[in-house]
Chains A and B, each alone.
Chain A
């Protein structure tokens, strides 16, 4: 199957700083990527749909000014958590559309905000 990578795999930052997470499709082009958030022992919640060359579509309750998404190329989408606070600590996972309605998921990024 297709490979999706995320960088970094984990990050610790101070409250008030901004953190950028990258999601790359390594061997295919992805017009659409998705960003999910997963709190401990909970399921994945879709945050936003990232569309190459256009604005992201955010799910209800997700602050677009806090979670900035940029999909500048067909192989890269970035999620920037601005002015991070401890409640933003979570596991962030991206995925990319594939053929046959499949999605390919990245390995995730663990964010800890102190």
Chain B
């Protein structure tokens, strides 16, 4: 059974710092991996999607990497801003069915 773990559970950093969020999964046979952002009481916003054949994806200040063989992904946020404060969720898809298995998230607080 696929399990997705995110470390740390919570993170507080001063504005401007670069930071890394970690995601690990137990079964390396994934179809793709996605990173989402969730603001309190809101739905999810997709940040980056990495196909199983890819190693990384970049969007603006965000960079996500994927090491399928070791079951790990990282989300790198450069020059963090208070507006980046949110919960970041990692999710893997086991196949092309769109089914997603989520990690428990990392709650990020960027202090002004």
Contacts and interface: CB of A to CB of B under 8 A. Distances in A.
B43 A106 contact: yes
Interface string A25-45: 000000010100000001111
A81 interface: no
A48 to B, nearest CB: 11
A97 B99 CA distance: 9
A102 interface: yes
A110 B41 contact: yes
24 contacts: A1-B46, A4-B43, A34-B99, A43-B89, A43-B102, A43-B104, A44-B44, A44-B91, A49-B99, A95-B44, A100-B49, A101-B31, A101-B32, A101-B49, A101-B96, A102-B46, A103-B46, A105-B43, A105-B44, A105-B45, A106-B43, A107-B42, A108-B42, A108-B43
B43 A93 contact: yes
Chain A contact residues: helix, strand, loop or mixed:
strand
Contacts of A46: 99-101
Interface string A85-114: 000000101010100111111111010000
Nearest to A42: B104
Given A43-B103, A102-B49, A103-B46, 4 more contacts: A34-B99, A43-B105, A105-B46, A107-B43
Which of under 10, 10 to 19, 20 to 34, or 35 or more describes the interface residues of B?
20 to 34
Contacts of B89: 43-44
Nearest to A10: B41
Contacts of B101: 46
A100 B99 CA distance: 13
Interface string A2-32: 0010100000000000000000000000001
A104 B43 CA distance: 10
A102 B98 CA distance: 8
A86 B35 CA distance: 31
A101 B93 contact: yes
A100 B46 CA distance: 13
Contacts of B97: 49
